[in-house]
Chains A and B, each alone.
Chain A
Amino acid sequence: MTSTPTTAFVYVTYIRTTPEKLWSALTDADFMRRYWFDTHIETDWKAGSPWRLVYPDGRLADAGEIVETEPPRRLVLTWRNEWKPDLKAEGYARCAFDIEAVPGAARLTVTHRMERPDSKLIEAVSGGWPRILSNLKSLLETGEIVLKVKE
């Protein structure tokens, strides 16, 4: 039995909040701008609908489809980079957000997976997710973010 070669990254953070609040933080465009370096996602968050991650100047960053939505526990998206030709050529990755209530906090797991070896897209998002999630955690816990500008 051989498994498909994949490139994957898994990010886990514990946030002192409720799964419901975390779910709204992940799906509210205005809130998203505050921790996601002024970008936001446009979609109706229904399974089968398209989504677009848009830069503040209106350019398209990434896009895909909502695969699965189960508030406030699980959200799955297909994910393709839309502005770097070599990344776009890799096609669609899959990104899952899993939220689990733990005592006094919510555990958020983001799994970004591409069914190919050495994915450049996964490498590219690996630099971004820890910063975005650190900002999200600080914002939910303290009302402030740590990093104002994306490096």
Chain B
Amino acid sequence: MSDDAVFRALADPSRRQLLDWLHRKNGQSLNELCRGLEMTRQAVAKHLAILEEANLVSVQRHGRKKLHFINPVPINEIAERWIGKFERPRLSALSDLKRKLEGEDQ
């Protein structure tokens, strides 16, 4: 799985929104995803196919339904490769500070 495919997939705001949506509730069907988002069914299906191609989403059959799961492994690999080795402690301190300053408690 190439980093290029992951970066390309992440470069689109609608696809990031889809990932956020799956992060909130994992294992959703296409219908469920369409209900929560202001996108056409075709657009959601197209974005899901690109996310699946990049291995960011995996699909499992559950009876007659196809459920979509967010797959955090490629993002973790990118994080480890580009940030993890040296910078993690400093960066997590910085993002903690940013969250505190911005008053976001999650």
Residues on A close to B: CB < 8 A?
Answer: 3, 6-14, 109, 111, 126, 129-131, 133-134, 137-138, 146-147, 151
Bound-state CA distance A151–B79 (Å) is 14
Closest to A10 in B: B69
B77 on interface, CB distance cutoff 8 Å: yes
C-alpha gap A111/B61 in the complex (Å): 12
Q: What are the nearest 9 A-B pairs in CB distance?
A: A130-B76, A10-B69, A146-B80, A130-B72, A12-B58, A13-B73, A14-B1, A10-B58, A12-B71
Whether B27 and A134, one on each chain, are in contact in the complex, defined by CB atoms closer than 8 angstroms, is no
Q: Which of A10, A129, A133, A147 contacts B84 (CB 8 A)?
A: A147
What's the nearest-Cβ distance from chain A to residue B73, in Å? 5
**A137-B81 Cα distance, complex, nearest whole Å:** 12
**Is the beta-carbon distance between A14 and B55 smaller than 8 angstroms?**
yes
What's the least CB distance linking B6 to chain A, in Å? 12
From 44 to 65 in chain B, residues with beta carbon under 8 angstroms from any chain A beta carbon are 55, 58, 60, 62-63
Query: A8 contacts B26, CB within 8 Å?
Result: yes
Instruction: Give Cα A12 to B77, complex, Å.
Output: 12
Q: How far is the CA of A129 from the CA of B26 in the complex (A)?
A: 16
Residues of A within 8 A of B81 (CB): 146
Are B69 and A147 closer than 8 Å at their CB atoms? no
Contact B73 A134 (CB under 8 A): yes
Q: What are the interface flags for B19-34 relative to A under an 8 Å C-beta threshold, 1 for contact and 0 otherwise?
A: 0000000110000000
A138 neighbours in B (Cβ, 8 Å): 80
A17–chain B nearest beta-carbon distance, Å: 14
21 contacts between A and B (CB under 8 A): A3-B62, A6-B27, A7-B26, A9-B69, A10-B60, A12-B55, A12-B71, A13-B1, A13-B73, A13-B74, A13-B77, A14-B1, A130-B72, A130-B76, A133-B73, A137-B77, A146-B80, A146-B81, A147-B80, A147-B84, A151-B88
Contacts of B63 in A (CB 8 A): 3
Most buried by A among B58, B62, B81, B88: B58
Determine the distance from Cα of A138 to Cα of B73 in the docked complex, in whole angstroms.
12
- Least Cβ distance of A136 to chain B in Å? 10
Of all chain B residues, which has the CB nearest A122? B26
